């Protein structure tokens, strides 16, 4: 048929032009060769031929070359080299760590996919998975594949590190589980949730596998990282003499920690030597409104309930293994509130880092977009959002295209951190 003949002529002409254009670079040429082959293949099988393929490819290629010639993002120094491959980049003594149940598999894969794409595919830090029951082979196989070559370890948490210590009275625990459920305390009725908070407060950093590392990055199932990292946060912390990094800070529900602060005060009285002279006391205790509009702080103690949201943490394991933190944890553990109340690991970690560290050793990662239901945080600067390729949306919030995340909401403690922490700082961490 003449139309077939005509189309074949057009194809040949296009291929001639394409091969002329392909002189520019070897990579371009080999790709164009590949395209020619696939076009020819499709020709012979008489199926659909997209004559625009070669042209579209050429345009994209030019565009990406122009892009590479652009300057580095403004907030990183001009000398900063984006890592090209894991082997070309220095590695920290660090690991990603996720406590998870077998039933968390889908959410675990989702979090892994996000963090691999946004950060770890460039660095290949290992993944450590912890569980108080053995992981299923399905969990192991699918997370291993999702790690995409980064090492994966699956560790069984011993019963002695998971179940309540022997000095906890089981019937008093049961009574409080029942009462907390009645009182609508968040997750108040779940024994496993108390084990989890107790474990995350006092045991995760002592698991044998974690003794191999200085740094950890806590990852939970069903979270999402909204921006490219573009740097190694472990290295940023180490080089800037930081011990602990967070992204979101909010108020705790007081009904989960009615007596926690009393026990913190008795710790301070008993062990004043562990309290850092340049600590973040005011961040934990200031209650003055920061503006005309403010939320009532629902606290009956001098603690303002502000804490770093611990489902995201990048920190130094040696801090948690220090004598100061060990004493702090033992003091709280023996007070019983992990089981007779529903103390979360977030206020426990937060109060510890705020009192036992120099406040300058705590870092707010303001440029790491992050979502854990129901809160999301994202950088606020347009140039950061663009150069870090952020997608600042979260489940249920898609309709709000101007949603800026929780930092600017009233229940965020970030303004208080800016005021009473080391001050608002700007990103220039990389030497």
Ligand X SMILES: *[C@@H]1O[C@H](CO)[C@@H](O)[C@H](O)[C@H]1NC(C)=O
Binding marks (x or -) toward ligand GTP, 351..380, rule CB under 6 A? ----------------------x-------
Is the previous residue joined to 374 through a cis bond, with omega within 30 degrees of 0? yes
Largest CA distance in the chain: 96
Residue 157 C-beta: closest distance to ligand GTP, Å: 7
Q: Which stretch binds Mg ion (CB under 5 A): 244-252, 270-278, 308-316, 345-353?
A: 308-316
Should residue 101 be labelled a site residue for ligand GTP when binding is judged by CB under 6 A?
yes
- The nearer residue to ligand X, 213 or 231, going by C-beta atoms, is 213
d(CA 310, CA 336): 21
Residue 373 C-beta: closest distance to Mg ion, Å: 8
Q: Which two tokens stand for residue 250?
A: 């909010």
Among positions 203-222, residues that touch ligand GTP (CB under 6 A) are: 220-221
- The nearer residue to ligand GTP, 101 or 327, going by C-beta atoms, is 101
Among positions 102-121, residues that touch ligand GTP (CB under 6 A) are: 104
Q: Buried b vs exposed e over 50-89: b needs ≥16 C-beta within 10 Å?
A: eeebbeebbeebeeeeeeeeeeebebbeeeeeeeeeeeee
Should residue 209 be labelled a site residue for ligand X when binding is judged by CB under 6 A?
no
- The nearer residue to Mg ion, 36 or 311, going by C-beta atoms, is 311
Count other C-beta atoms under 10 Å from residue 31's C-beta. 16
Determine the size of the site formed for ligand GTP (CB under 6 A). 13
Should residue 220 be labelled a site residue for Mg ion when binding is judged by CB under 5 A?
yes
Among positions 260-319, residues that touch ligand GTP (CB under 6 A) are: 311
What is the three-class DSSP state of 399? Answer: coil
Should residue 358 be labelled a site residue for Mg ion when binding is judged by CB under 5 A?
no
As a three-state string, the secondary structure of 156-213 is ECCHHHHCCCCCCCHHHHHHHHHHHHHCCCCCCCCHHHHHHHHHHHHCHHHCHHHHHC
* Candidate list 298, 302, 386, 400; residue touching ligand X; CB under 6 A: 298
Q: Which two tokens stand for residue 45?
A: 């099988």
Nearest to 118 by CA among 27, 213, 217: 217
* Candidate list 168, 209, 297, 427; residue touching ligand X; CB under 6 A: 297
Nearest to 352 by CA among 335, 336, 331: 331
- Residues designated catalytic: 313
Query: Residue numbers of the site for ligand X (CB under 6 A)?
Result: 93, 212-214, 251, 295-298, 318, 411
Query: Residue numbers of the site for Mg ion (CB under 5 A)?
Result: 220, 311
Query: Residue numbers of the site for ligand GTP (CB under 6 A)?
Result: 98-101, 104, 131-132, 192, 196, 220-221, 311, 373
């Amino acid at each position: 048929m003449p139309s077939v003949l005509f189309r074949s002529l057009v194809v040949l002409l296009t291929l001639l032009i394409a091969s002329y254009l392909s002189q520019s670079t070897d990579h371009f040429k080999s790709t164009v060769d590949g395209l020619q082959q696939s076009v020819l293949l499709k020709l012979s099988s008489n199926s659909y031929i997209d004559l625009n393929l070669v042209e579209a490819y050429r345009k994209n290629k030019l565009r990406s070359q122009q892009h590479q010639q652009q300057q580095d993002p403004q907030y990183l120094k001009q000398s900063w080299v984006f890592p090209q491959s894991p082997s070309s980049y220095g590695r920290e003594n660090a690991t990603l760590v996720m406590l998870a149940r077998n039933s968390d598999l889908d959410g675990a894969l989702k979090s892994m996919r996000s963090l691999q794409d946004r950060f770890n595919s460039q660095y290949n830090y290992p993944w450590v998975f912890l569980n108080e029951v053995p992981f299923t082979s399905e969990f192991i196989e699918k997370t291993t594949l999702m790690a995409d070559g980064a090492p994966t370890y699956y560790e069984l948490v011993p019963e002695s590190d998971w179940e309540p210590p022997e000095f906890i009275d089981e019937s008093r625990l049961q009574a409080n589980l029942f009462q907390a459920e009645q009182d609508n305390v968040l997750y108040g009725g779940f024994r496993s949730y108390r084990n989890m908070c107790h474990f995350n407060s006092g045991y995760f950093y002592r698991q044998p596998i974690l003794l191999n590392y200085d740094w950890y990055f806590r990852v939970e199932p069903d979270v999402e990282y909204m921006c490219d990292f573009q740097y190694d946060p472990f290295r940023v912390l180490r080089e800037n003499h930081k011990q602990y990094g967070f992204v979101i800070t909010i108020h705790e529900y007081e009904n989960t920690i009615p007596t926690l602060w009393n026990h913190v005060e008795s710790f301070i009285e008993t062990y004043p030597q562990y309290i850092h002279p340049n600590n973040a006391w005011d961040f934990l205790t200031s209650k003055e409104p920061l503006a005309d509009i403010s939320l009532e702080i629902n606290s009956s103690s001098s603690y303002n309930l502000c804490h770093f949201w611990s489902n995201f943490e990048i920190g130094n394991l040696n801090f948690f293994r220090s004598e100061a933190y060990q004493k702090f944890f033992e003091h709280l553990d023996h007070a019983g509130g992990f089981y007779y109340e529903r103390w979360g690991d977030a206020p426990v970690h937060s109060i510890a880092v705020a009192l036992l560290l120099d406040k300058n050793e705590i870092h707010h990662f303001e440029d790491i977009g992050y979502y854990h239901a129901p809160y999301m945080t994202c950088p606020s600067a347009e140039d950061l959002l663009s150069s870090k390729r952020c997608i600042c949306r979260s489940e249920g919030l898609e309709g709000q295209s101007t949603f800026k995340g929780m930092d600017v909401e009233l229940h965020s403690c970030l303004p208080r951190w800016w005021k009473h922490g080391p001050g608002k700082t700007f990103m220039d961490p990389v030497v």
